[in-house]
Amino acid sequence: MKIIESPREAMQGIEPFIPTESKVRYINSLLKAGFDTVEVGSFVSPKAIPQMSDTTEVLKQVERTGTRSKRMLLTVNKKGAELAADIESIDTISFPFSISPRFTQLNFNSTTERLLETVDFINNLCIHSNKSFVVYISMAFGNPYEDEWSLEILSKWLGILKTIGIRTIPLSNVTIEIDKKLISDVFSTVIPRFPEIEFGLHLHTSNENWYEKVEAAYDNGCRRFDSVMHGMGGCPMTGKEMLGNLATENLIQFLKTKNEIPEGFDHMAFIEASKLASEIFKESYSLSKI
């Protein structure tokens, strides 16, 4: 069982700039909790996502010892990937891939085919720099942009990514609420069809009906879940109303019912990180109302 904790998701949409030292303190507290991976930042346009403009400074101060967690960095282009490949403290590079032409145009001013070229480039870069590569698929559970969507279309793109050599693919809904049946249909189809690939669930959701959604993925073989402390954040560039993320507290509650708490998970460190999250984000949201 793998839990991928994403402070990057929590922070990216907050308007008042969170001080670098606060980000570092929070990320280092998460690294003590024993998650499989902590997504520590992103190389994206500072104009589009100003909250992530200090990622390079954050990375200089992120703990590299005394943690079992891998450190992951998101990038949206080749240049960002090249920068990340040279940073020793980064273990994993992630990239958001979309099978929706409209979403790709809106968010990347690009095409799905060009994104595929970028995926191939970053995959080769990761091989040569000895880093893991994770490709997220947005719109993996339907499409609100009037593009055609089906399980066969999803499977087609998964087959293409497999041919390139991608072996870790979390599936995301990004902008739309989804139900447990759709989650079951997707995972029950793709996991048996692509046994070489480690699939995950990156669930954007309100705080309602989260349990049955997580259970639908779990019951159909998913053992990799992204989450965010307190369910904070979402995608600030979709043009749609943002959904929150699966709350880490809720995910831990679910895993306890299944006796699936990962080995090495430090519950006391987790509680301390949760308290720090409340402190930092309460301050940020208070400032946003001034």
Rounded Cα distance, 30 and 40, in Å:
10
β-strands 92-98, 132-138: how paired? parallel
pLDDT in tens, 216-268: 999 999 999 999 999 987 665 544 445 689 999 999 999 999 999 999 999 99
- Decide if 27 contacts 71 (C-beta within 8 A): no
pLDDT-derived band at 290 (thresholds 50, 70, 90) equals very low
Give SS3 for 116: helix
Rounded Cα distance, 179 and 91, in Å:
33
pLDDT-derived band at 284 (thresholds 50, 70, 90) equals low
Prediction pTM value: 0.94
Q: Residues in the chain, how many?
A: 290
pLDDT in tens, 73-130: 999 999 999 999 999 999 999 999 999 898 888 778 889 899 999 999 999 999 999 9
| In the chain, where the domains are located | 2-288
Task: Give the tokens for residue 61.
Answer: 């101060």
- ∠ CA 170-115-242, nearest 5°, is 55
Give SS3 for 45: coil
Cβ atoms < 10 Å from Cβ of 56: 13
Rounded Cα distance, 71 and 27, in Å:
10
Distances 199 to 97, 221, 240, 284 between C-alpha atoms, Å: 14, 9, 26, 33
Rounded Cα distance, 238 and 104, in Å:
10
Domain spanning 2-288: CATH superfamily: Aldolase class I (3.20.20.70)
Q: What is the pLDDT of residue 66?
A: 86
Rounded Cα distance, 174 and 185, in Å:
18
